[in-house]
Amino acid sequence: MRTQKKISFSLTEKFKNQLFKWANQFEEVVWLDSNSYEFSSVEYEAILAVEAFTALKTDYVNAFDKLQEYQQTTKDWIFGYLTYDLKNDVEALSSKNFDGLSFPDLYFFQPKKIFLLKKDEVEMHYLGMVDDELEEDWQDILNTSTIYQTEKENTSATINARLTKDEYIARVEKMLVHIHRGDIYEANFCQEFYAEKFLLQPLFTYFDLNTISKPPFAAYVKLEEFHLLSASPERYLKKTGSKVISQPIKGTAKRLQDPAEDEALKESLKNDPKEISENVMIVDLVRNDLSRTAKKGSVEVEELCKLYSFQQVHQLISTVTAEVAEGIPPVEVLRSTFPMGSMTGAPKISAMKIIEELEATKRGLYSGCVGYMSPQGDFDFNVIIRSILYNSTNKYLSFSVGSAITAKSDPEKEYEECLTKAAAMHRVLEK
């Protein structure tokens, strides 16, 4: 049982900053922040979960069955992540590429302490064993100093590209061969940037990354030595009652400082046939995935290729909804749609096989998701893109970026799109 307390409180960036810094004392931390972005179905301004009471950490083998059992056993809030490589649990696939991070394939925990933040209210949900700490924690948070960028001192190290530009182009050209002979219509091809023996200050680096990006699905995760610093603009899947909503992104243009030039680029993106076709193909894939667990005839496209602007880029986002059929467990909705179509391609299984063949590194948590499940079986998960991954034991740092390859793709332009997406991560790591 959880003790709940609601506190009327005007939510400010200073308080979020204090709460976030206070949380970092714990071994297990999940911080989810909407950055007050006016995005459909954002229920909370931010959510914090800390200090594991129980946990599930596993490789991909029977991972979704284990998660379903864990969710049904705890009947409580659980927070964590699914890596891209859970594809190997869903289909007869494998992941044999290099992995410098060594994250578990799936990691969830039942937190002792949860904070649900709204504009004018903070809800605190504490397990019974720690509910006597609630008042003291609240005072400690209010007395916590804020995070200042001057406190962040990463040890500089060379950030390397796993593929040279020529190697990247050569591999995209091989993917285009698959597309032209009809093996696939589209695939998301990704490349890794990495650093070894990198002494990262995760808390302050996340603060920097979020400050310059302000995305609607930002996340900071610390689970033992495994760290995620995510400035994701993309939702994978949200379930509220019987309704599920997916919001795939396909179509990207960089932001420009000159307002007139920026506006012209927005208009160009909104009317770009290649970008629109990428988005529509993934919408069809998402519709198909959702239909597996949906009530007949309930899958709808509420928005198609709507333009949203973020600090670094403009994006085309579509919104697909469905009503889950009676008797379908919440984890089954995740299993039947995973991995998300925007990070794989179409047809999905063929695309994933070709991705494994042509990419140089194991994706791991990149292009997986992080989020939570409530005691009622509701959930909300983002897509892990625009994110830094770090193993504090072996000091390996990694961030990956990708783009959708279609028949109309120009390898040079796809490479430039990757660099645009990587810019924010480079910026906070190379100060």
Percent of the chain with pLDDT over 90: 88
Q: Which long-range contacts (CB under 8 A, 24 or more apart) does 147-152 make?
A: 147/17, 147/20, 147/21, 147/203, 147/204, 147/207, 149/204, 149/207, 149/208, 149/211, 151/201, 151/204, 152/201, 152/204, 152/205, 152/207, 152/208
Picking from 87, 77, 23, 47, the residue whose alpha carbon sits closest to that of residue 330 is 77
Q: For residues 251-274, give the mean pLDDT.
A: 91
Per-residue model confidence (pLDDT) at position 81: 98
How do the domains of the chain map onto residue ranges? 2-429
Omega before 347 cis (within 30°)? Answer: yes
Q: Which tens digit of pLDDT belongs to each residue from 135-190?
A: 999 999 999 988 764 455 666 678 999 999 999 999 999 999 999 999 999 999 99
Per-residue model confidence (pLDDT) at position 48: 98
Q: For residues 363-378, give the mean pLDDT.
A: 97
Query: Cα 339 to chain center, whole Å?
Result: 12
Kindly report which listed range (48-57, 330-339, 416-425) carries the lowest average pLDDT score.
416-425
Structure tokens at 261: 């030039």
- Quote the DSSP letter at residue 8: E
Per-residue model confidence (pLDDT) at position 154: 61
Q: Name residue 150's amino acid.
A: T
Partner residues linked to 346 by β-bridges: 186
CATH code linked to domain 2-429: 3.60.120.10
Omega before 339 cis (within 30°)? Answer: yes
Q: Which tens digit of pLDDT belongs to each residue from 69-78?
A: 999 999 999 9
Q: For residues 9-30, give the mean pLDDT.
A: 93
Q: Which tens digit of pLDDT belongs to each residue from 184-212?
A: 999 999 999 999 999 999 999 999 999 99
What Å distances lie between residue 182 and 329, 331, 410, CA to CA?
A: 36, 33, 18
Q: For residues 227-254, give the mean pLDDT.
A: 95
Q: Which tens digit of pLDDT belongs to each residue from 373-396?
A: 999 999 999 999 999 999 999 999
Q: Which tens digit of pLDDT belongs to each residue from 79-132?
A: 999 999 999 999 999 999 999 999 999 999 999 999 999 989 999 999 999 999
271: pLDDT strictly greater than 90:
yes
Segment (H or E) for 379: strand 379-382
Structure tokens at 179: 């597309």
Burial, 325: exposed, middle or buried (Cβ in 10 Å; 0-12, 13-18, 19+)? middle
Q: Which residues of 265-298 are buried (b: 16+ CB within 10 A; e: fewer)?
A: bbeebbebeebbbbbbbbbebbbebbeebbeeeb
What does the mean pLDDT of the chain come to?
A: 94
Segment (H or E) for 170: helix 165-180
Name the H helices within 216-255. none
Question: Which residues fall within 8 angstroms of residue 61, CB to CB, at 6 or more apart?
Answer: 89
Question: Which residues fall within 8 angstroms of residue 120, CB to CB, at 6 or more apart?
Answer: 8, 9, 10, 11
| Max CA separation in the chain (angstroms) | 65
CB distance 52 to 78 below 8 Å? no
Q: Which residues of 233-264 are buried (b: 16+ CB within 10 A; e: fewer)?
A: bbbbbbbeeeebbbbbbbbbbbeeeeeeeeee
pTM, two decimals, is 0.95
Picking from 333, 362, 389, the residue whose alpha carbon sits closest to that of residue 206 is 389
What gap in Å lies between CA 324 and CA 411, rounded to an integer? 40
